[in-house]
Amino acid sequence: MAAAGGRSTMAAVACLALLLGAVCAVDRSNFKTCDQSSFCKRQRNVKPGHSPYRALLDSLQLSQDSMKIQLVNEASKVPLLLEFYGLKGNMTRIRINELNPLKPRYEVPDVLVGDPPTTRLSVMGRDDNSVELSLGEGTHKLILTAKPFRMDLLEGRDLILSVNSRGLLVFEHLRLKKDSFSDKVSSTVVSMWDRIKNLFSREASKEPASEAEGAAEPSEESSLPTEQESAESEKTEEAFKEADEAEEEPGSWEETFKTHTDSKINGPTSVGLDFSLPGVENVYGIPEHAENLRLRTTEGGDPYRLYNLDVFQYELYNPMALYGSVPVLLAHNAQRTLGIFWLNAAETWVDITSNTAGKTLFGKMLDYMHGGGETPQTDVRWMSESGIIDAFLLLGPSPKDIFRQYGSLTGTQALPPLFALAYHQSRWNYNDEDDVSTVDSGFDEHDIPYDVIWLDIEHADGKRYFTWDPNKFPHPREMLQRLAAKRRKMVSIVDPHIKVDSGFRVHNEIRSRDFYTKTKDGSDYEGWCWPGSAGYPDFTNPEMRAWWSSMFAYDQYEGSMENLYTWNDMNEPSVFNGPEVTMHKDAVHKGGWEHRDIHNLYGFYVQMATALGQVQRSGGVERPFVLTRAFFAGSQRYGAVWTGDNAAEWDHLKISIPMCLSLGLVGISFCGADVGGFFKSPEPELLVRWYQVGAYQPFFRAHAHVDTIRREPWLFGEENKALIRDAIRERYALLPFWYTAFYHSYRTGQPVMRPLWVEYPQDATTFSIDDQYLLGDALLVHPVTAQGARGVQVYLPGKGEVWYDARTHQKLHAPQTLYLTVTMSSIPVYQRGGSIVARKERVRRSSDCMQNDPYTLYVALGPQGTAKGDLFVDDGHTFNFETKGRYLHRRFSFSGNTLTASSADPKGSYETSAWIERVVILGAGKPAAVFLKQVGVAETRLDFTHEAETSVLTLRKPAVNIAADWSISLR
* Active site positions, annotated: 569, 645
Residues 6+ apart with CB under 8 A from 631: 288, 308, 323, 324, 325, 326, 603, 604, 607, 641, 668
Closest CA to 174 of 270, 247, 96: 270
Strands 867-873 and 930-934: unpaired
Rounded to 10 degrees, what is the CA torsion of 722, 724, 725, 729?
140
Report the alpha-carbon distance of residue 309 to residue 326 in Å, rounded.
13
Number of other residues whose CB lies within 10 A of the CB of residue 187: 11
β-strands 489-493, 564-568 pairing: parallel
Q: Are 380 and 350 in contact (CB under 8 A)?
A: yes
Task: Give the separation between CA 913 and CA 940, rounded to whole angstroms.
Answer: 21
Ranges assigned E (strand) in 586-693? 626-628, 640-642, 671-672, 674-675
Residues 299 and 417 sit within 8 Å (Cβ to Cβ): no
**In sequence order, which ranges of 361-466 are alpha helices (DSSP H)?**
361-370, 399-410, 433-445
Virtual torsion, Cα 650, 652, 653, 657, nearest 10 deg: 140
Question: 3-state DSSP call for residue 235?
Answer: helix
Cβ neighbours around 656 below 10 Å, total: 26
CB-side neighbour CA atoms (13 Å) of 505 = 9
Taking the C-alpha atoms of residue 780 and residue 123, their distance in angstroms, rounded to an integer, is 48
822 burial type by CB count under 10 A (0-12 exposed, 13-18 middle, 19+ buried): middle
Residue type, 52: P
Cα angle at 230 between 229 and 235, to 5 degrees? 95
Distance of alpha carbon 382 from alpha carbon 271, whole angstroms: 8
* CB distance 778 to 835 below 8 Å: yes
Report the candidate in 569, 578, 608 with the shortest Cα–Cα distance to residue 596.
578
Q: Under 8 Å CB-to-CB from 796, ≥6 apart: which residues?
A: 780, 803, 812, 813, 814, 815, 816, 817, 818, 830
Q: Could you tell me how far CA 759 lies from the centroid of its own chain?
A: 21
Torsions phi, psi of 111, nearest 5?
Answer: -80, -45
3-state DSSP percent of the chain in helix, strand and coil, to 5: 25, 30, 45
d(CA 2, CA 8): 16
The full 3-state SS of 48-93, as one line of letters, equals CCCCCEEEEEEEEEECCCEEEEEEEECCCCCEEEEEEEEECCCEEE
Asked if 696 and 388 touch (Cβ cutoff 8 Å), the reply is no
Alpha-carbon gap, residue 324 to 288, rounded angstroms: 5
Which H or E run includes 738?
A: helix 735-748
Q: What is the DSSP letter of 586?
A: T
Taking alpha carbons only, the member of 422, 415, 747 closest to residue 611 is: 415
**Could you give the 3-state DSSP secondary structure of residue 436?**
helix
Q: Which helix (H) or strand (E) holds 882?
A: helix 880-883
